[in-house]
Amino acid sequence: MKKGLLLLCVLLTGCSQHAARFPDYSSFLNGYKSGPASITEMYGNYRAEQTGKKISARFNLLLQPGKRAYMEILDPSDRLMNVLSLSEGTISLLWSADNKYITEKASPQNLKAILGLPVAPDDALQLISGLGLNFSEWQQEKPLKDGWILTRETYRAKITAGNNISRIEISTNAGTFVARYDKYELMNERSRPARIRLELPGSRTHFELNIDRFVPRTEEPTDDLFAVQLPRDAHQFQLSEIYKGKPLILQ
């Protein structure tokens, strides 16, 4: 009996020490960085699935974390399929084979239509950078054993974390989606996930980036560097003309 009580005390002590190591949200915010001003290029495999339709491709992703993103999606023969540009103000998507494109305000409604992510652009940029959310704009509703419940206006997020953030479930008026991060690697003295997965249960859709290489870039992050270079005969469409309820990046 004494041995059993001793073992129980050891287990409880270990659990309490583990809980104490997990930071409260204020401490996390104090140490949190939205991302370096310098830019980073990522290369890897892109996978997506929507109601049974599967896409497997390569991608090049240029990031100014939390500020701007530029992504090229290439088929297995390295032929350009899509180009995506996202900033805090604008989102653009080019379908290379058809020479058609859209450029819209980066509102939550437009991000949902194009990417499937009904969130503010600063949060979307953090999500695809592997950095979670723009946490400085989120407030804690309640702490959890392994994370927090956070709110931002009408949005609610459940964060699950250990040494790094592993899962974010975001509930919005336009639906719920989940971001998963794993296979963390050290990049520029910061731990970054080499696998980023975005799941949209409502439309049976998911996107996955498996990153092979992180390449730091030294040049200044100019607007031109993140802009979509349009072909001369490119035709612009309005979102209302082509959106049929599913993320356009999969069309």
3-state SS assignment for residue 34:
coil
Q: What is the dihedral of CA 101, 104, 109, 113, to 10 degrees?
A: 0
- pLDDT for position 34: 52
- pLDDT for position 37: 58
Out of 3.30.479.30, 2.60.40.10, 2.50.20.10, 3.40.1030.10, the CATH code matching 25-250 is 2.50.20.10
- pLDDT for position 14: 39
- pLDDT for position 3: 44
- pLDDT for position 33: 61
What residue ranges do the domains of the chain occupy?
Answer: 25-250
User: Low-confidence residues of the chain, pLDDT below 70?
Assistant: 1-23, 33-37, 188
- pLDDT for position 217: 86
The secondary structure element, H or E, covering residue 49 is strand 39-50
Look at residues 209, 206, 205 and name the one whose alpha carbon lies nearest to residue 193: 209
CA distance 31 to 236: 43
